[in-house]
Structure 1
C-alpha cells in the first residue's frame, strides 16, 4: 500500500503528498482510502488494465514500470531477463520518431530495441554497443525529435494485411484457449447437464478451428488440452508458429450475477502505441458476435495483458461472457450459440482481409457464402 502511494506521488498523481525517499513509511501511508482508489483507477485506465481501484499484482507491476524515467538506469539487452519500464518505452518512442525503430512500442528492451539503438549509435558516431547510457541519452536529447508522423508499426501491420490478400487460404492463426490441464474453471448447469468453463472454451475453439481449416487456413492451438503453460509460454508458441493472427478465448465471472456481456481486447495503452490490426479485428469480432447472439455488447478495449503484449502478431482476447450471470450461462451452454460465435469469429477474420471490399452488413455474412468466395 505504502509503495503504491509513494510511486503515485512520485509520478505527480497525488498532489500535496510528499513521498519519503527512504524505505521507511509512516503508518498513515499504509491506509487505503477513497482518494487513493480514485487516483489508482485513473492510473490503471491509462496503463491498459482493468480500473478496479484495487492493488493487485498487475497494478504493482505497472507502478514499478512507471517509476523508471529515461536516464534513471543504464539500459541494455538481457536475453533471459529483458528490462521493462517506461524508460524503455521513452527510448523506443524516440528511436521510432528518428526512424530507427519500427516495432511495437511495448516497453520491453528486446532484440528489436537493441538493433535500433545500436544503429542509432552507429549513425551518431557513438560506440554501437546497444547500451543506453549517459552519452547515448545526451545524443538523443541533442538531436531531438526531428521526424514525426504515423506509427511505423501500425503502417507495417496495415501493409501486411493488404499484401496478404482477401483469401483466407494459407493464413496462419493460433487459437488460445485460456484453460487447460487440471484447471477446469467454473462449473455451471447447461441444457444437457453440468459443463465446465474449460469444456465451453475448448468446444468453441474446435468449432472455430474446423471452419478455419475448411476455408484453407493453417491453425494451431497454443497448448495441449491436458497442459497448463503460462501466458508467456503460449505466446512463445504463437511466435514460433509465425502466426498472422492470435485469438484467445476465455470466460469471466463476478461476485454477483449482474455483470454480463461479451467484450474483446487488443494490445494498447496510453503510454505506448496500439496494435491497429488487433484493434480492427477486435471490433469486427465484437460486432459480429453481438449481432448473432443475445449477449450484451461490452465493447472493444485496449489492454496490456501478457498474451496481448508478448505476442508478435496482432492478438485479440475474447471474453465470451460471465458464468456468474444466468443469461450468459444460457447462451454459452447452448451449442447452437457457440456455433454462431464460431461463425462470427471466422467471418470477422474474413472481413479484416477484405479491407475496402467488405460491404456486407454486420451479422449477415454466412460461412457458406465465405466458403464460396474462397473457392471462386
Structure 2
C-alpha cells in the first residue's frame, strides 16, 4: 500500500499542472467557474480555496481548503456516474465512487443486501449484485456490466427508503443482548497533527492515557478490548505483515499508521464497536469543546444508524458529566469511520490549544470521568429503553445492576 501521508498536498498559493486538474474536477461538479486565462487555470487562488472547502463540507471531509490525498481521492470518486465504467470486486484494491453509491442504494431499494452504503465495491456489494443477477436470469458473475445496468434501469423499485439497513442493524444489536461480556471493542488513540512538537506530545499522552483508562474499565465489564497502537511501540502487529492467526489479531500497531490501516486492524479483530479518541487543535485559542463523529455521506442521504446512536450516546454522556462545551455530533467520511465494518465513532475530547480544555485534559480525575462516560455509552448501546439509565448517571459499578434488571424482564 502506498503511503498516502507522504503524497503531495495543494493549497492556496500553489500553481502547476496538478492545480489545473483540481480546477477541472471542481468545475465538472459545478463548484468552480472556468478561469478567464491560461495562467488563471494553473493557480490555486481564493476561488479554488472556497470551492475546495465547499466540496469538503459536502463530502464529510476535514474542511481545511487543502487538497491532500483524502480530498483528491474523493474528488476522483465524485466524477463517476453509474454506467460510466464496469464495476467489479477486486480484493485489496476496492473500486469506489459515486457510481458505487448509486448501485448500492438501488440494490438496497430493490431488497438486496449490500452491506453499508459506503461507495466501496466490497464483498457484500458483490454478493448483492450476484443475488440480483440470479433473480433476473443473467450469469451471476458479481460484475456490474451492461446487462446488469440495463436490468437495473428497467426494474425501478416500487418502494424507496424504509431504511432496511437500519432495521437490520437494530436487530443485530437486539440479538447481541445487553451483556457486555464477550463483546469486542477496539480503542484507537489517534495521532494529533499539530506543528508544535510539545503540544503534539502532550496530546498524544492524553489520548493514550484515556485509551488505557477506557480499556481497563471495559475489561472489568467482560469486554475484550484492543488498542490499535500503544505509546511505547513495544509490540508490532504480525497481522500487519499479512501473517498470523487469532493470537496476533489483537496485537497493536506501531504509531504512525494511516486511518485505513487502523480500520483494517479493527476489522481483523471482528469487533462489535470501534472508538477513536482524538484531541483537537486550532489556530484560534478560543476554540474549545467536545464533538463526536460517525459515518455518513449527507450528499447522498447515507449514514450509519447505529453509529449515529452510539455517537449521540457518547456525546451526551461526556457533556452531562463534564463542563466541556457541546459541539454536537456530525457525519464524516474519514477512513476510520468509512472502512470499519462495525459501528465506529471518533471523539474529539477538547482542544489542546485552549488553556481551559488543556487544563482539564491534564487532570487524571477528568480523564477518569471521560473514560466512565465512554464506557457508559458503550453499555447503553445494548440496553433496551426499559432498562436504560438516565444520561450522566450510569456508573461502572451499576452496569451489572442494569444487566441483571434486563435479564429479569
User: Normalization by structure 2: what TM-score?
Assistant: 0.82
Aligned to 1:143: 155
CA distance in 1, matches of 2:117, 2:378: 24
2:105 to 74, 78, 93: 93
- Number of residue pairs aligned between Structure 1 and Structure 2: 363
Q: Is the 8 A contact 2:207 2:278 kept in 1?
A: yes
Aligned to 1:301: 330
CA distance in 2, matches of 1:34, 1:234: 35
1:328 to 347, 357, 361: 357
Q: Is the 8 A contact 1:261 1:321 kept in 2?
A: yes
Distance 1:239 1:324, change over 3 A: same
Structure 1 vs Structure 2 CA RMSD:
2.5
Q: Residue deviations 1:110-139, cap 9 Å, x none?
A: 111111112212222222211212222111
Aligned to 1:130: 142
Aligned to 1:62: 74
CA distance in 2, matches of 1:269, 1:187: 35
The question of 1:222 aligning with 2:228 is answered: yes
Q: Is the 8 A contact 2:380 2:388 kept in 1?
A: no
2:396 to 367, 370, 374: 367
CA distance in 2, matches of 1:366, 1:184: 38
1:185 CA drift (Å)? 8.3
Aligned to 1:191: none
Q: Is the 8 A contact 1:248 1:317 kept in 2?
A: yes
Q: Residue deviations 1:11-50, cap 9 Å, x none?
A: 2334xx4599xxxx93222334444444433322221113
Greater alpha carbon shift after TM alignment, 30-39 vs 199-208 = 30-39
Aligned to 1:72: 84
The gaps in structure 2 that reach 5 residues or longer are 1-18, 234-253
Aligned to 2:248: none
Aligned to 2:178: 166
Q: Residue deviations 1:128-173, cap 9 Å, x none?
A: 2112122221111111233423222221111111122222222211
Greater alpha carbon shift after TM alignment, 221-230 vs 285-294 = 221-230
Aligned to 2:384: 355
The question of 1:3 aligning with 2:9 is answered: no
CA distance in 1, matches of 2:195, 2:278: 12
CA distance in 2, matches of 1:363, 1:373: 14
1:94 CA drift (Å)? 1.1
Distance 1:275 1:244, change over 3 A: same
Q: How does 1:179-190 map to 2 (within 5 A)?
A: 179=191, 186-188=197-199
Instruction: Give the secondary-structure state (helix, strand or coil) at the position aligned to 2:276.
Output: strand
Instruction: Give the secondary-structure state (helix, strand or coil) at the position aligned to 1:316.
Output: strand
Q: How does 1:227-376 map to 2 (within 5 A)?
A: 227-228=254-255, 229-270=257-298, 271=300, 273-357=302-386, 360-374=389-403
1:238 CA drift (Å)? 1.4
Q: Residue deviations 1:309-342, cap 9 Å, x none?
A: 1110000111112111111110111000000000
Distance 1:102 1:332, change over 3 A: same
**Which structure is richer in relative contact order (CA contacts within 8 A, separation 6 or more)?**
1
The question of 1:202 aligning with 2:208 is answered: yes
User: Normalization by structure 1: what TM-score?
Assistant: 0.89
